[in-house]
């Protein structure tokens, strides 16, 4: 019986230490700043027009992260801020990919027009 009490007291102590450790955790300022920067970069890369749903998801998660900071749930805030950064980087990558595809399509069209012109000139000779 005494062994059970000691084990219970130890478990309560560990649980209390864990709770205090979580309560004194610092706000995830670095993650929030990284997410903000990633969203700004994605916006500058054309994500609002070319990858709007990914950018919207990133902004939503950042907003939720800020709400969690206000509630002092720093662990959840950190997770959301990290996800927001990843989503913003995805939006930026997708926007870049769309721009690259459009540029490649334009180049292909230009090459096609040049070939047609060359063929026309060769048939006229």
Does a structural domain hold residue 21? no
CATH number of the domain where residue 60 is located:
1.20.1270.390
Provide the H-helix boundaries in the chain.
2-23, 29-44, 47-50, 52-70, 74-124
Dist. CA 78–CA 62, nearest whole Å: 10
pLDDT in tens, 18-45: 554 454 489 999 999 999 999 999 999 9
Record the pTM: 0.70
Does a structural domain hold residue 51? yes
Number of structural domains (the chain) is 1
pLDDT in tens, 41-64: 999 999 999 999 999 999 999 999
Domain range spanning residue 120?
26-124
> Binning pLDDT at 50, 70 and 90, where does residue 15 land?
low
Does a structural domain hold residue 44? yes
Quick check: 55 and 102 in contact, CB under 8 A?
Answer: no
Does a structural domain hold residue 15? no
Spell 42-80 as b/e; 16+ CB within 10 A means b: bbebbbeebbeebbebbbebbebbbebbeeebbebbbbb
């Amino acid at each position: 019986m005494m062994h059970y009490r000691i084990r219970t007291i130890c478990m309560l102590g560990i649980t209390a230490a864990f709770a205090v450790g979580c309560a004194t955790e610092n706000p995830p300022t670095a993650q929030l700043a990284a997410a903000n920067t990633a969203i700004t970069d994605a916006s500058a890369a054309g994500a609002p027009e070319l990858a709007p749903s990914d950018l919207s998801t990133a902004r939503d998660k950042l907003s939720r992260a800020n709400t969690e900071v206000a509630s002092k749930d720093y662990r959840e805030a950190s997770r959301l801020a990290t996800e927001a950064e990843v989503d913003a980087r995805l939006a930026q990558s997708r926007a870049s990919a769309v721009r690259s595809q459009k540029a490649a399509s334009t180049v292909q069209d230009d090459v096609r027009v040049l070939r047609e012109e060359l063929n026309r000139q060769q048939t006229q000779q």
